[in-house]
Structure 1
Amino acid sequence: MSTFNVPKREEVTANNQAIFDNLEKALGFVPNLYATYAHSENALGNYLALSNVKTSLNAKEKEVVNLAVSQVNNCTYCLSAHTAIGKMNGFTDEQIIELRGGNASFDTKFDALAKLAKNITENRGATDAEVVDNFLNAGWTKENLVDTIVLVGDKTISNYLHKTTDVPVDFPVAQPLEAVEA
């Protein structure tokens, strides 16, 4: 695979420079994957708009989806970032490992959500009816179902961008699931 550079602030458009400045203020740095979106005039702003849309899922629920999807798509960057964000949202290391595997024995609603996100991703949207039924029977709504599908798409975009560009991971690197389950 060819080396794909992470653009620096001075290498991107004025619009993207403003976004970099906002990310720097909010996060303290510009994550490499976000910077990679800035190779396009519009992709970074469009992606951040999608990622920050209103949703029926709270921050912790979003991390359940992000971890399950990123594991199915085997994206080291997103697994690393969302492991850190998952911890910031109160998940333990053990819970994060479970969520990456598409399970949550510690919470029935999270378990149904993780299983749904994993199944949607594995089956490219041809979700098993039983998984959908279990999701709804666990107390989730049709609105939550639609919002989960949108989030799966959101996370898949970043997974694919990293898998294609292989830019350096600038978070503590998440270990392969097999290594941490052993």
Structure 2
Amino acid sequence: MKTFTVPTRENVTEANQAIFDTLKKKIGKVPNLFATMAYSKNALGAYLSLSGGPYSLTAKEKEVVNLAVSQANGCEYCLAAHTAIGKLNGFTDDQILEIRSGAVSFDGKYNALAALAKSFVGNFGKASEDAVNNFFEAGYNNENLVDTIILIGDKTITNYLYAVTNVPLDFPAAPALPATVA
């Protein structure tokens, strides 16, 4: 497989250089996976528009989706990044492991959301009827369903990009799920 080098600011277009500068100011760095998107003159900006757009889900709910999808797709990079982001959003280490497993005991709504995300990924875009029904019974609505699907697509993009590029992790590695919940 081709080895991908993470591009530096000097190796990308002027438009992507401006995005790098903005990311560096906002979050202190340009994550390796984002930098890798800059191989394309358009992908990084388009992706950031998608991922940074408004959603009907809370920041914590977005992390539930990100963690469940990244676990289902086996993306070490996104698990590392979203474990860190999940902690910034108030989740504990144990809660993050539960979310990743798709079975959340500490919050019924998060459980339905994680199970739905896991079902979508595990069934190649065709969530089980039970997962969809549980999602609505937990209090979510049609807007939330559409936004959840968009978030699954968002996370699938980065999961797939990492799977083919295998760029170095620049977040602390996420712990493995215990064998009892994997």
TM-score (norm 1): 0.97
CA distance in 2, matches of 1:35, 1:95: 30
Contact 1:34 1:44 in 2 (8 A): yes
Aligned partner of 1:169 in structure 2 is 169
Q: Once the two structures are aligned, what percentage of the paired residues are identical?
A: 63
Misfit runs of 4+, over 3 Å: 178-182
Task: Report the counterpart of residue 18 of structure 2 in structure 1.
Answer: 18
Gaps of 5+ in 2: none
Matches within 5 A, 1:42-53: 42-53=42-53
Contact residue 116 and residue 135 of structure 1 kept, 8 A: yes
**Matched residue type, 1:5:** T
Q: Contact 1:64 / 1:114 at 8 angstroms: preserved in 2?
A: yes
Task: Give the superposed CA RMSD.
Answer: 1.3
Tell me the CA shift for residue 99 of structure 1. Answer: 0.4
Runs (5+) with no aligned partner, structure 1: none
1:123 pairs with 2:123: yes
Displacement after TM superposition at 1:71 (Å): 0.2
DSSP 3-state at the match of 2:97:
helix
Contact 2:69/2:117 (<8 A) preserved: yes
C-alpha distance in 1, partners of 2:176/2:166?
16
Q: Does 1:142 align with 2:142?
A: yes
Whether 1:99 and 2:99 are equivalent positions in the alignment is: yes
In the alignment, is the contact (CA less than 8 A) between 2:101 and 2:181 conserved in 1? no
1:72 is aligned to 72
In structure 1, C-alpha distance between the alignment counterparts of 2:147 and 2:49, rounded to whole Å: 15
Q: 1:175 offset after TM fit, Å?
A: 2.3
* CA distance 1:122–1:181, shift in 2 (3 Å): closer
